[in-house]
Structure 1
Amino acid sequence: MILVANKEQNMKKQEITSIEKYRPVYHYTPKKNWMNDPNGMVYYDGEYHLCYQHDSNDIIFSDMSWGHAISTDLVQWEECAKAIVPDNDGLGMIFSGSAVVDKNNCAGFGVNTLVAFYTSTKPRQQQSMAYSIDRGRTWIKYIENPIIKNEEWDSIPDDFRDPKVIWHKDSQKWIMSLAVKDHIEFWSSCNLKDWTKDSEFGQGVGSHGGVWECPDFIELSVDNDQTNKKWVLLVSINPGGPNGGSATQYFVGEFKDVDGQMTYISSQKDEKWIDYGTDNYAGVTWSNVENKAIAIGWMSNWDYADKVPTNNWRGAMTIPRELELKNIEGEISITSKPAFALKQIIGAAIATIDDASINSNINVGEELSSSRIKVKMDICDIKDVGIEIGNSKGEHVKIGYNKLDTYFYVDRSNSGENSFKSGFAKLHKAKTNRNLESLDMEIFIDKSSVEVFFNNGERVMTEIIFPTEDFNMVKIFCDNKIEIREFDIKRISLI
């Protein structure tokens, strides 16, 4: 009987392992079912709240509500009861939105109440509100929802969603940015309940391959100069990304009163992207975080999100990232770097510069599927250089810089399982206008993803992958001589 019991236990363990094969180690995923856009992200009383689009019953996008997780450190997450769910109010599903701390009791729900804004889906997309008086543990829908109506006879299209609300100090008003089909609208309020449309931005600028979604609106200093600040508008678009499918673009500009209406103005001509990989979408920042802009995104792509080979769950979040504005050779751009909090889970080195060699494998056992690689190189006389991570089956991902044609890249053409979607297995590029003499890369590897920060986050690429066997080999490759200035691989663990 004992042998039979052990056999049954082993079979069950193998079944669970198979189901959870691609479950990330240090990226947030729900325990089960579908997840997409991050929502309702607010920091309050020492806790980061991460809500997200979640389906209660299936691993496909269907019955949307707000899932909810809480962390004190941006690393360890506790999945909580759902925050906001559909009910019999007749307003339908709970689509994406945001949350704020009402420090001055503008809405009348109490000082420091957490107030969330979301899109209701029936009979058309409209904006609604909920609030929490117990530090985000339970949420009460505002009895007079929707707060911004969208009647059939209105001129507003049905694509009217994803409210991001901020407090604008200069105007002493709350500002809501809304995605409206092919542009962003800015609305203002003094009490969070009554809203007036001020202005529009976006028609004829940026990428317009598909509908605009999930805006974010943040003020950032340029090169940490507090006297030189710009307003940054993040807009996710599907399709229309730089490497296909969905992605998040951004604009840099000014936000000011024009003839009594708060108006966004940007002279930006070129398309700019938060992430040039295919798997960082709908990313937004936490509200109520002082002196930092910390963002997180949905680590997937609408091209194949409902087809990826995970069995009882679908969807993960990127690692949290700190966004900054930098003047790079006369052009003001966003740079991204891994949030400082991640340092606490980066452990002992499993390879160092003493192990580094050119064009030959470094075997690192089984640790590479949850690790971070850092490398800095002088690359004066080369055409192509980078790092390849792989396994004994010949599956691999190449991450590098093509100096001849000046682009960074991630090539997942041979990264493992890819039959679920034609075109998934491809080389993806992030163009840069500079011919570099040195290259640094910080690469975060998890069970089913790679996130690459090139040259201190000047370009970022996030890609999901599905190797059939854990990666356990690393190779530095190039077509000529290089000098390795820094190299290490470190284990990442939540324990």
Structure 2
Amino acid sequence: MTTTTALGCQYRPQHHYTADRNWLNDPNGLVYANGTYHLFYQHNPSGNGWGNMSWGHATSADLLHWDEQPVAIACDDQEAIFSGSAVLDGANTSGFGTPDNPPLVAIYTSAYSPASPLSGRQAQSLAYSTDNGATWIKHAGNPVLDRGSADFRDPKVFWYDGAAGSYWVMVAVEAMDREAVLYKSADLKAWEYLSTFGPANATGGVWECPDLFELPVDGNPGNTKWVLVVNLNPGGIAGGSAGQYFLGTFDGVAFVSETTVTEGLQKDESRMAEYGWLDWGRDYYAAVSFSNAPDGRRLMIGWMNNWEYGALTPTDGWRGAMSLVREVRLAVRGGRVVPMQTALDPFESVGAGRNLGASPYSEAARPLPAGTHWIPAEASGDVLRIDAEFEPGAAGEVGLLLRASGAERTVLAYRCATGVLSLDRTASGNTDFHESFASLESVPVPLENGRLRLRIFLDRCSVEVFAQDGLATITDQVFPAESSTQVGLFADRDGGRLVSLAIVGGG
């Protein structure tokens, strides 16, 4: 959250970062250094719509409480500052700092304006900080990597140390070609081409905001996979913006996918569900991970919006929010390796000065008869964490009604015959600001021992659903009336069972 909410409206979230004022989109330059997490992001300092792209900046000690800082890297008459990454150059390979005071280095896309000699190009540039991110200096030798392209952007940089050597690796995109392009460097300033991946799987829109990292499978350091994340707009599984992933190997030169379903630019809508999707909702985009996170954790955050309607969301004085931070792991489920995502829980921040609401509400195991069972008002609210476990049994459909009042509601339902979990926001409140906002998202979710486990985070303008311990996620914005705070359980016929229910934050 931000440090002030003077310009807040009913939709200003409590647990999701928003800029105090004006437009926000892609997270950039996520890095941990000297006890501080830095979140940079695409920001318009001068207005509530996209434009004047600069890097906004927020800091946190725990990834839950955020303090907004001054704009870090500002646009000028020569360039807009597009997406990128940041690293702690601990060995001072760049020479921007000293061995005793290594610099933070931001690697960003310069989108050159008509006033620039490089007008129309997108190329990669550097800025550096020697005061822990408080101030930034653009490198005099920018750009450091220019392919003469109009759509070469979004560099994600990391240190590689393997059989091929030790060096910085950049993965960026040729957006219109749907390609991830890899380079290496010894000093962040001179770059050598390595390889290209793609097009593959979802190619119905441009590729943006890539990421590449290695993770152990089920915590075993002797068994790892590399994860290539490529965000896509439009052409996502739920429509509009989305993030996809590939699993495979990286030898320091080339990424080889083991999960490619289709190659090239052909669009086969019938195979969309076979691709790897970070999230099956409409509002999780440009997701990238933190560099240098403690204990080797892979922590990601995304822009909680969609380019189809992102400029029209009904907020006041600010526009755009970040998702909760998620930790990503790899695990074997159903005989294959898949990502598992766990949200960092703001409701565990007891004693940190937050009002977490009333004491937790819980229900023990019981039958779930046909109809709707409304949760007591003291356990309802607009900022909640809900943990629910169902045994659908003979019921045709079970689930929860969220942010409900009268006919207004967001419906989270599991249909037993198809094994599909859906989130329906067609009656969620204010949906008229764009024709595609009223929507129903769905994801196949297998039961485990006949049970469905759900963790749901409600905030004032969002629903984030984590099913089966993060095997599948759905993230959607909603804009209900302030009075729409009820929570209900439902089943369409007898035969289902509620295993457990716990709600935190109501009252």
Same fold (TM over 0.5): yes
Q: Among residues 452, 456, 472, which one is paired with 1:439 in the alignment?
A: 452
Indicate which of 47, 50, 67 corresponds to 1:61: 50
TM-score, normalised via structure 2 length: 0.88
For 1:492 and 1:287, locate their aligned partners in 2 and report how far apart those are by CA, in whole Å: 35
| 1:317-356 map, 5 Å | 317-339=322-344, 343-344=348-349, 348-353=358-363
Cα distance in structure 2, aligned partners of 1:348 and 1:469: 19
1:192 to 164, 177, 188: 188
1:263 aligns with 2:254: yes
After superposition, give the CA deviation of every residue in 1:242-300 in whole Å (9 maximum; x if it has no partner).
Answer: 1100000000000015xxxx000012124111110100100111100132101111000
How much has 1:483 moved relative to structure 2?
A: 2.5
Partner of 1:35, secondary structure, is strand
Given residue 158 of structure 2, which amino acid in structure 1 is its aligned partner?
Answer: I
1-side partners of 2:373 and 2:343: how far apart?
29
- Residues 108-127 of structure 1: per-residue CA shift (max 9 Å, x gap): 11232101000001121010
Structure 1 residue corresponding to 2:397, chosen from 373, 378, 384? 384
Structure 2 CA distance, aligned partners of 1:367 and 1:241? 32
Q: Which amino acid aligns with 1:93?
A: A
For residue 315 of structure 1, what is the aligned residue in structure 2?
320
Q: Which residue of 1 aligns with 2:104?
A: 114
2:349 is paired with a residue whose SS is helix
Name 2:39's counterpart in structure 1.
50
Q: CA deviation at 1:214?
A: 0.2
> Is 1:463 aligned to 2:476, yes or no?
yes
Answer with 477-486 or 247-256: which moved more: 477-486
Structure 1 residue ranges without an equivalent (≥5): 1-15, 152-156
Q: Retained in 1: the 8 A contact 2:32–2:291?
A: yes
- Match for 2:373: what amino acid? S
Q: Report the secondary structure of 1:244's partner residue.
A: coil
Distance 1:97 1:23, change over 3 A: same
Residue of structure 1 in register with 2:84 after alignment:
97
Distance 1:49 1:81 in 2: 12
4+ long deviations beyond 4 Å? 16-19, 345-348, 354-358, 433-436
Query: Alignment identity in percent?
Result: 39
Instruction: Note the C-alpha offset of 1:392.
Output: 2.9
Superposed displacement of residue 377, structure 1? 1.8
Kindly indicate whether the alpha-carbon contact (under 8 Å) linking 2:217 and 2:332 is maintained by their aligned counterparts in 1. yes
Say whether the 8 Å CA contact 1:188–1:198 is kept in structure 2: yes
Name the structure 2 match of 1:9.
none
- The aligned residue for residue 8 of structure 1 is none
Partners of 2:308 and 2:436 within 8 A in 1: no
Q: Deviations over 1:421-450 (max 9, x none)?
A: 112112111124668710110000000100
Distance 1:87 1:426, change over 3 A: closer
| Match of residue 279 from structure 1 | 283
- State the match for 2:172 in structure 1: 178
- In structure 2, what is the equivalent of residue 483 of structure 1? 497
* Matched residue SS, 1:369: coil
Deviations 1:357-384 (A, max 9, x none): 6522113248520110001122222221
Name the structure 2 match of 1:126.
123
- Look up the equivalent residue of 1:62 and give its one-letter code: G
Alignment pair present for 1:164 and 2:161: no
1:210 and 1:383 mapped to 2: Cα distance? 36
Code of the residue aligned with 1:185 in structure 2: it is V
CA contact (8 A) 2:10 2:482 kept: no
Q: Does the aligned pair in 1 maintain the 2:390–2:451 contact within 8 Å?
A: yes
User: Over aligned residues, Cα RMSD in angstroms?
Assistant: 2.0
SS at match of 1:456: helix
Distance change >3 Å, CA 230–CA 194, structure 1 → 2: same
Q: Which of 228, 232, 244 is equivalent to 1:237?
A: 232
Question: Gapped runs of 5+ residues in structure 2?
Answer: 113-118, 262-273, 351-355
**TM-score scaled by length of structure 1:** 0.90
Post-superposition offset of 1:406:
1.7
Classify 1:372/1:51 alpha carbon distance in 2 versus 1 (closer, same or farther; 3 Å): same
1:294 counterpart = 2:299: yes
Shift of 1:347: 6.0
Amino acid in structure 1 at the alignment position of 2:308: D
Kindly indicate whether residue 162 of structure 2 is the aligned counterpart of residue 149 of structure 1: no
Indicate which of 70, 76, 82 corresponds to 1:81. 70
